[in-house]
Amino acid sequence: MKISVAISRAVLSLIFCSCAAAAQSPQPVSSLPAGTAIPVHFPHALDAANLKVGDAVVAKTDQTILGPSGLRIPRGSQLTGTVMEVQPQASSSDHSELAIKFDSLHVRDRAIPVRVALRALASFVDSYGTRSPVVDNGTPDGSVYRQVGGDYFYQGDVVYSNEWDEVGKATHDGVVVKLEGRDLANSRNHVFCESTDTVQAVGVFASGACGVYGFTDITVAASGAGDSGAIRFSSAKHTLKIPRESTALLQVVAASE
């Protein structure tokens, strides 16, 4: 009898532990909510002189991204896509173009389908510059840092916009802010940046970053928010090239009805 009771207790204990573990484990995520920001860098150059339609495009996340149901997307996760169109510059009077489309975010052993639009693009120089303080007070924690497009912060402290509004915080995982809405659809860069009510991971970018930074020869002809989902870059000066370690801030858009 005592053996039977002991076995019953052991079984109940296993069931309880299993249920508790299941309750604490993040549930599988099949998609990311519209508005989710995905800060990335390009580990390889995107060069219209060498690419062809159908080639794979890879970007890597710049910081940990917090997703739904407790999902943590680690820094370095791969965002993959495809070259949709490419056109080197044939003559000085021609434009060079490159269209890419991202469709999968790889988180550990699974791929999450995504549809993203470009919010901002920054050169390696502008991106790398965020690592150095704009006001050096002698120690990393006591110095002031600036994001691409504005926003200032002390490490581990509040993030302030150019207007000195509190927009987020610099955390151990990286900078998280509420994104500011901006519409550049009628400018040289056809970008529409959605605002958010919740803080988003932004890597090197500011809450109001929208458009192109550090490139004088590249414009955004399409952000990827349209039906095709393709992000289209254009250059009137020479064959388009986005050097390695350039960065981008992408934003998940709702699927077309």
pLDDT, tens digit, for every residue of 13-68? 544 444 444 444 455 667 899 999 999 999 999 999 999 999 999 999 999 999 88
Mean pLDDT of the chain: 89
Amino acid at 13: S
Tell me the average pLDDT across 120-149. Answer: 95
| pLDDT band per the 50, 70, 90 thresholds, residue 11 | very low
Q: Which of 103, 52, 51, 59 is nearest to 78 (CA)?
A: 59
User: Does 5 score more than 80 pLDDT?
Assistant: no
Average of per-residue pLDDT across 155-171: 95
Higher pLDDT, 194 or 90: 194
| pLDDT at residue 16 in the model | 46
pLDDT per residue as tens digits for the range 118-128? 999 999 999 99
Cβ-proximal residues to 206 (8 Å cutoff; 6+ apart), any chain: 147, 148, 149, 150, 151, 161, 162, 177
Residue that wins the pLDDT comparison between 77 and 189: 77
Count of CB atoms within 10 A of residue 190's CB? Answer: 19
DSSP 8-state class, residue 193: E
Burial letters 121-153, b for 16+ CB under 10 A, else e: bbbbebbebbeebeeeeeeeeeeebbbbbbbbb
More confident residue, 15 or 140: 140
Q: Which of 150, 182, 184, 148 is nearest to 167 (CA)?
A: 150
Q: Please give the Cα distance from 57 to 79 (Å, whole number).
A: 8
How many angstroms separate the CA atoms of 220 and 189, rounded?
5
8 Å CB contact between 130 and 247? no
Q: Residue 185: its pLDDT value, please?
A: 75
Question: What's the length of the chain?
Answer: 257
- Cβ 200 vs Cβ 61: under 8 Å: no
What is the residue whose two structure tokens read 């994104």? 179
Q: How far apart are CA 202 and CA 65, in angstroms?
A: 9
What proportion of the chain, given as a percentage, has pLDDT over 90?
74
Query: What is the average per-residue pLDDT within 108-124?
Result: 95
pLDDT tens profile 85-94: 999 998 877 8
Cβ pair 246, 240 in contact under 8 A: no
> Where residue 255 falls among pLDDT bands split at 50, 70, 90?
low
Q: In whole angstroms, give the CA distance from residue 240 to residue 46.
A: 8
Alpha-carbon 127 to chain mean position = 13
* pTM, 2 dp: 0.87
- In this prediction, residue 220 carries a pLDDT of 96
